[in-house]
Amino acid sequence: KAGVTQTPRYLIKTRGQQVTLSCSPISGHRSVSWYQQTPGQGLQFLFEYFSETQRNKGNFPGRFSGRQFSNSRSEMNVSTLELGDSALYLCASSGTGDLYEQYFGPGTRLTVT
Amino acid sequence: GESVGLHLPTLSVQEGDNSIINCAYSNSASDYFIWYKQESGKGPQFIIDIRSNMDKRQGQRVTVLLNKTVKHLSLQIAATQPGDSAVYFCAEKLAGGFKTIFGAGTRLFVKA
């Protein structure tokens, strides 16, 4: 079974631009969570989607948004990029809404200049 | 507040020795705890988990201990190998919650 895939793997953007990151969960998984990882803040929860509905959201500004499609694929968008948005963005999927074991993708490394 | 912290940011052990990575959590309502391993350039990988109604769980070469009285979690790795070198994160989930709260991480170095 293929793992969680994320595209692109690396991205360089300029301050003020917007970016869209994509995540394809493991086949059959319906829950997708997004995390931001930085050296200073560690792994921080962004949001979680299940069956196209956002069920939980972390403490990030409204510039960070996401969505999930009917095939469980998910995208996250960051508008008006700031230098501090430079991070590794990780996506994780799990089998059902109640199962806790998450499988992570390799992440998208975003650099904002 | 919601926070999960680690006592030691870096741990260095000799190959073949046992490793112990510690973690403190603050939310007594958490009912599920997980340890993840993250190697360079990869996403976190599930190692072992434990529910709050247990105090010990064993896997292959790994053991997780949970002390709810002092809100402490530990990961024990037996016969540590060079391939165990990575950053280890503890994480917690609240009962019925859909988000995972991660600790800061501990980097484990294994000396040959």
CA–CA dist B1, B89 (Å, integer): 19
On the question of a cis peptide bond just before residue A8, with omega within 30 degrees of 0, the verdict is yes
Asked whether residue A51 carries a pLDDT value surpassing 70, the answer given is: yes
Distance from CA of B83 to the nearest CA of A (A): 18
Does residue B2 contact residue B27 with C-beta atoms inside 8 Å?
A: yes
For chain B, 112 residues long, give each residue's pLDDT as a single digit of tens.
334 444 448 999 999 999 999 999 878 888 899 999 999 889 999 999 999 999 999 999 999 999 999 999 999 999 999 999 999 999 998 877 677 888 889 999 999 8
pLDDT band at A107 (very low <50, low <70, confident <90, very high): very high
Q: By the CB < 8 Å criterion, does B1 face chain A?
A: no
- Strand order in A19-24's β-sheet? A5-7, A19-24, A74-78, A64-68
- Residues 6 or more apart whose Cβ sits within 8 Å of residue A39: none
Side-chain half-sphere exposure of B61, counting CA atoms within 13 A: 12
Q: Note the pLDDT of residue B65.
A: 98
At residue B84, the 3 state secondary structure works out as helix
What whole-number distance in Å separates Cα of residue B44 and Cα of residue B67? 24
Could you give the CA distance from residue B11 to residue B61 in angstroms, rounded to a whole number? 18
CB distance A103–B99 less than 8 Å? no
**Does A104 sit within 8 Å of B100, measured CB to CB?**
no
| Cβ neighbours of A102 in B, within 8 Å | 46, 100
B41 close to A (CB below 8 A) = yes
Q: For chains A and B, what is the number of CB pairs under 8 angstroms?
A: 54
CA distance A23 to chain B (A): 13
Strands B100-102 and A108-112, bridge-based pairing = unpaired
* Residue A87 contacts B, CB cutoff 8 Å: no
Among the partner-chain residues A45, A90, A102, the one whose CB lies closest to the CB of B46 is A102
Which of these, A91, A89, A100, lies nearest to A72 by C-alpha position?
A91
For tokens 């070469």, name the residue: B61
Residue B89, classified by CB atoms within 10 Å of its CB into exposed (0-12), middle (13-18) or buried (19+), is buried
Residues 47-106 of B with CB under 8 A from A: 49, 89, 91, 93, 97-105
- Give residue A111's pLDDT band: very low, low, confident or very high (50, 70, 90): very high
Residue A94: is its pLDDT beyond 60? yes
Nearest chain B residue to A102 by CA: give it. Answer: B46
Q: Which residues on B lie below 8 Å from A100 (Cβ)?
A: 32, 34, 49, 93, 100
Question: What confidence score (pLDDT) does residue A100 get?
Answer: 66
